[in-house]
Structure 1
Amino acid sequence: MSQVKIYGIREHLLPIRNQLSEVIHSCVVDALQFPVDKRAHRFFYLDTDDFFRPATASEHYVILEFMMMEGRTVETKKKLIHLLYERIGEQLGLAVTDIEICILESPAHNWGFRGMTGDEIKLNYKVNV
């Protein structure tokens, strides 16, 4: 299981929302081996005054927060991060200083979906990749 929260300044994030979602999803499919039809993205649009950012970042700055069940290797998570920087830069023109990524993990038993906990459910993809 993985969910993505995307934060950015409304006027800059809204116009690229669909394309950014596609790019993020392609990275998740390739790095985490997710099924193509599995996507959980949520966009959080902030006013400029409500989104403090590092001095090195422009108004195009976005934060990507991935919440996932534990089980992926360090190499898999690094692959996801590197793919995100590469593809977002190439396809959306965002600078690496405008992208911040954080992966948050918790045990499968802390997840609940389809009426079960994550450690009880049979998934159609692997978490231990």
Structure 2
Amino acid sequence: MSQIKIYGLKSSLDPIKAKLSDTIHSCVMDALQFPADKRAHRFIGLEIDDFFMPAGRSDSYIIIEITMIEGRSVDAKKKLIRLLFDRIKAEIGIDCMDVEICIYESPACNWGFRGMHGDEIKLNYSINV
């Protein structure tokens, strides 16, 4: 299980949301072995007055926050981050300097979905990759 939030300037995010979601999900499927139908992305488009950026970033600057059940290996998480940088640049055209990524992990018992606790549900994919 994972949930992904993508923050950026509304004017920059709106035209690319669908393609960026596809790109991000392809990375998650390849790095974490997620099924194609397990996508939970939220785009948070902000006005310029609400989005303070580090120096040297363009209007394409995005922040990607990935929250997921703990259990993935360091190698899998590093592969995910590398794929995100590479594919977002190649497929969307956003330079790596304009992409920041943070992975948050939480124990399965802290999750609830489909009416069950995350540590009691049987998933159709493996967490330990």
SS in structure 2 at match of 1:126: coil
Q: Given the alignment of the two structures, is residue 6 of structure 1 paired with residue 6 of structure 2, yes or no?
A: yes
Q: CA deviation at 1:85?
A: 0.3
Q: TM-score, length-normalised on structure 1?
A: 0.99
The number of residues matched between the two structures is: 129
Q: TM-score, length-normalised on structure 2?
A: 0.99
* In 1, Cα distance between equivalents of 2:82 and 2:99: 11
* Residue 81 (structure 1) aligns with: 81
* In 2, Cα distance between equivalents of 1:108 and 1:37: 20
Q: CA deviation at 1:37?
A: 1.0
* Residue 30 (structure 2) aligns with: 30
Deviations 1:5-35 (A, max 9, x none): 0000000010000000000000000000000
- The amino acid that maps onto 2:57 is A
SS in structure 2 at match of 1:16: helix
SS in structure 2 at match of 1:6: strand
Unaligned runs of 5+ in 1: none
* Residue 48 (structure 2) aligns with: 48
Q: What is the root-mean-square deviation of aligned Cα atoms in Å?
A: 0.5
Q: CA deviation at 1:56?
A: 1.9
* In 2, Cα distance between equivalents of 1:120 and 1:92: 38
SS in structure 1 at match of 2:72: coil
SS in structure 2 at match of 1:12: helix
* Residue 17 (structure 1) aligns with: 17
Structure 1 runs (4+) deviating above 3 angstroms are none
SS in structure 2 at match of 1:24: helix
